Amino acid sequence: MSVKDTTSANAFNDVVNNVKKTGGTDGANTTKKAADGTVMGKDAFLQLLVTQLKNQNPLEPQDNGAFVAQLAQFSSLEGITTLNDSVSSLSTSYKSSQALQASSLVGRSVIVQTDTSVVDPEKGLTGSLVVSKPISNATITVTDKDGKVVKTIDMGSQVAGSPTFTWDGTNTAGEKVEKGTYSFKATTKTDDGTVALLTSLPATVNSVTLSQTGGEIMLNLAGLGAVALSKVQTIGL
């Protein structure tokens, strides 16, 4: 004689349907998805397990191995839920720390790799070159916003490294120029012709943009626009 346990199947189906309607559990515990896309959390998983045990066929009860395996799955699911909560908490703390650090940069000067900078002639400007190998000569041409050459700085020969240069804010006639945005084009002459060199110049941080999706902090620099924090070489006063 065979026994068909329809009560167990109906009860199990009722619980599954209830999980689909309610979403399984609240947002804090929704960590597992069923094959049809239904979100299941540890509460729904335990509810299904208990219903299965209560309505199992008495002539064919669940064996110990299967029961232990389901308990192990439940334990793993609960551990993943706890881990997700911990990671979310750490992420929130990290974002708060980033926001605090970023706010302290506003108004400060940073050094970034660029060829333009807002210059106050009363203070002048100090920048640097990127020299990958020794060169026999280096020249920096300073131009204003209209492209007019203001001054030429001769740096002579340089070894590999980051040699610095200073512009006192005067033109070729020795007169102070107006405050504004100026371009700095560094070049060196080789046997192959004129080669451009990279320059690193100071800029003031006007504001900071924090990513809402976990991306990198962007610094809004005067005269340059948005630059990623990772591109900053030096943070000054």
Strand partners, 44: none
pTM of the entire structure?
Answer: 0.59
pLDDT tens per residue, range 55-76: 776 666 666 566 667 666 766 7
Parts of the chain with a pLDDT under 50: 1-8, 12, 15-16, 19-20, 22-35
Query: Which pLDDT score, from 0 to 100, does residue 31 have?
Result: 41
For the four alpha carbons of 81, 83, 84 and 86, in that order, the dihedral sign comes to positive
Q: To which H or E segment does residue 90 belong? A: helix 64-103
Using an 8 Å Cβ cutoff, are 234 and 222 in contact? Answer: no
Q: For residue 199, which of 118, 120, 77, 117 has the smallest C-alpha distance?
A: 117
Q: Is 44 exposed, middle or buried (0-12, 13-18, 19+ CB in 10 A)?
A: buried
DSSP annotation of 212 = T
pLDDT tens per residue, range 192-218: 899 999 999 999 999 988 777 767 888
Share of the chain above pLDDT 90, in %: 41
Query: Which pLDDT score, from 0 to 100, does residue 1 have?
Result: 40
Which residues have CB under 8 Å from 90's CB, separation 6+? none
Query: Which pLDDT score, from 0 to 100, does residue 66 have?
Result: 65
